[in-house]
């Protein structure tokens, strides 16, 4: 202890960025204390355990309907307030009164819905063979919450996430833009404020929405991060860009699998219908879509990587802005498209193409997923990897090669 130092290294990129974010950083300690209190109350009362399955189903679907109504009201209120003609008949006031009633019911049902979904996700995890002691460890625990934003920082000369700091969701858009600009101009980096769908705290944070497929997938995704945190792959999440991609891709694949099984078992009427081939498709290969966003993003990432590898930083940034305007014209409202954008979204490589570009890590994880006998086997193997080389060795042992 006598040989340690308390000064912050000047080369520590995260600490450099925190000079700008400290006043607006999200209060994780306060949030966690509050969330743990709610979870303790839920566990003590065990209310959902006394409810029959039909009542559980009714509570969850009723809660989702409340959230959907609230979203519709907010959209209508925004329309009324933005209209050049004043609304007649006090519609805005009526909408606010209705929102207050639903808000009260939403607060009342929220913790019960969380308990129900936690238990249902735990049953799916157990059935997959990931609960050797009879229940998942760590236990599935989450809070539906308003999530912080993330400030992502990448070098300009290469696409790589060097910092990811959570900031207040109350930060206005113009202040987000000012923060990005200040960080970029001072540190000569690429920065971007992005929304997130979930955060692997404990309990995990999940965005509140009426889309049950999204909620179940994110709950499962973030629990996988909790599972990995006590194993090498999760412990070394930030050690290298490759390990981060391995973590996020494995969690996304597993999250989709668990979330799909949960809906199929407990809410089958809400499951998306299976794709049906049209007569033309049945007669021959399907025609490519008129505009393929993932393919366009893949091509954009590949070309940007090439320009940066050649040292053409300004040319690459100008190209990304051209592509952003091109995507905007096709209905994809991306505020900024820069190195930080790809550094963040490129780590989620559960599907071919997209912002990962030619990064082989996601393809390697997908190859192991396809070759594994079960989701549990896949996760157990991935969990004990501490280097990208471990993944390549596993693929070689199985006789698999990357395209």
Tell me, yes or no, whether 102 lies in a domain.
yes
55 in any annotated domain: yes
| Residue 37 confidence (pLDDT) | 85
Which pLDDT score is estimated for 280? 47
Domain of 68? 28-82+97-132
> Which residues of the chain have a pLDDT value below 50?
1-10, 277-280, 282
Q: Is residue 90 part of a domain?
A: no
Say how many Å lie between the first and final Cα of the chain, rounded.
50
The answer to whether residue 233 sits within a structural domain is no
Confidence at residue 284, expressed as pLDDT on a 0 to 100 scale: 57
Residues 6+ apart with CB under 8 A from 103: 70
Please indicate, yes or no, if residue 339 is contained in any of the structural domains: no
Residue 121 has a pLDDT of 96
Residue 292 lies in a domain: no
Number of separate domains in the chain: 1
Is residue 120, in this structure, part of any structural domain at all?
yes
- Nearest CA-CA partner of 318 in 337, 333, 342, 294: 337
pLDDT at res. 85: 62
Provide the pLDDT for residue 265: 96
Cβ partners under 8 Å of residue 366, min gap 6? 249, 253, 349, 350, 352
379 in any annotated domain: no
């Amino acid at each position: 202890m006598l040989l340690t130092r308390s000064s912050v290294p000047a080369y520590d990129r995260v600490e450099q960025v925190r000079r700008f974010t400290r006043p607006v950083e999200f209060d994780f300690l306060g949030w966690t204390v509050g969330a743990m209190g709610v979870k303790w109350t839920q566990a003590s009362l065990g209310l959902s355990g006394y409810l029959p399955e039909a009542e559980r189903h009714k509570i969850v679907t009723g809660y989702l309907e409340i959230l959907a109504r609230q979203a519709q009201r907010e959209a209508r209120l925004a329309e009324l307030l933005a209209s050049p003609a004043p609304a007649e008949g006090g519609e805005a006031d009526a909408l606010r009164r209705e929102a207050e009633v639903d808000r009260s019911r939403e607060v009342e049902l929220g913790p019960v819905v969380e308990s129900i979904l936690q238990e249902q996700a735990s049953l799916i995890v157990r059935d997959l063979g990931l609960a050797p002691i009879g229940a998942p460890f760590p236990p599935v625990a989450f809070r539906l919450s308003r999530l912080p934003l993330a400030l992502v920082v990448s070098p300009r000369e290469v696409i790589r996430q060097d910092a990811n700091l959570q900031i207040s969701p109350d930060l206005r858009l113009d202040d987000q833009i000012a923060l990005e600009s200040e960080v970029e101009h001072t540190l000569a980096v690429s920065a971007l404020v992005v929304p997130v769908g979930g955060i692997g705290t404990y309990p995990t944070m999940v965005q509140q929405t009426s889309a049950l497929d999204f909620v179940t997938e994110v709950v499962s995704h973030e629990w996988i991060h909790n599972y990995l945190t006590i194993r090498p792959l999760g412990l070394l999440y930030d050690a290298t860009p490759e390990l981060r991609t391995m973590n996020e891709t494995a969690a996304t694949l597993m999250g989709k699998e668990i979330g799909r099984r949960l809906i199929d078992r407990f809410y089958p009427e809400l499951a998306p219908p299976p794709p049906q081939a049209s007569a033309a498709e049945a007669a021959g290969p399907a025609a490519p879509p008129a505009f393929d966003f993932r393919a366009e993003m893949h091509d954009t990432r590949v070309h940007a990587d090439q320009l940066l590898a050649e040292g053409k930083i300004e040319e690459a940034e100008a190209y990304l802005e051209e592509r952003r305007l091109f995507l905007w014209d096709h209905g994809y409202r991306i505020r900024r498209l820069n190195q930080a954008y790809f550094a963040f979204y490129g780590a989620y490589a559960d599907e071919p193409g997209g912002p990962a570009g030619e990064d082989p890590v996601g393809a390697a994880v997908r190859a192991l997923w396809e070759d594994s006998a079960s989701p549990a086997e896949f996760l157990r193997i991935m969990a004990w990897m501490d280097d990208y080389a471990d993944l390549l060795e596993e693929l070689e042992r199985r006789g698999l090669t990357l395209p």
